[in-house]
Structure 1
Amino acid sequence: MEKQEYTITLYTENSIGLIGRISTIFSRRKANIESLNTSPSEVEGIHRFTIVITEAEDVLRKLCRQLEK
């Protein structure tokens, strides 16, 4: 499959080690994070993680399933 650029946006409570857990999911799939941005969301206590990757669609789907857990 051909690789494309995708943007993944996660909304989650900010907790210690969260970025480490997210990066572990990507490294297990050998997917490189092109860009990672974190910011508070409009909801108090919830943060937005915006991740840009260049990957095949099937890898993207697997990553998203892992991130939902």
Structure 2
Amino acid sequence: MELLTTTQMAEKWNISRRRVTTLCNQGRIEGAILRGNTWLIPDDAKKPDDNRRGRNSKTEKE
């Protein structure tokens, strides 16, 4: 198992490095470890679902 940085995972998952860091800080990436100032993530980690509410989200009104 290889460990990747947030930059490498961002490229792999096609999301921003900052978003990967946020997911790590929230404990949403299994196996991610913080070494100094760098998050190291297993290369086989699964990308968590994006549960954020987007600006184009539509809520049904009754």
- Common topology (TM > 0.5): no
Rg larger in structure: 2
In the superposition, the TM-score normalised over structure 1's length comes to 0.27
Q: From the two aligned structures, give the one with the greater strand fraction.
A: 1
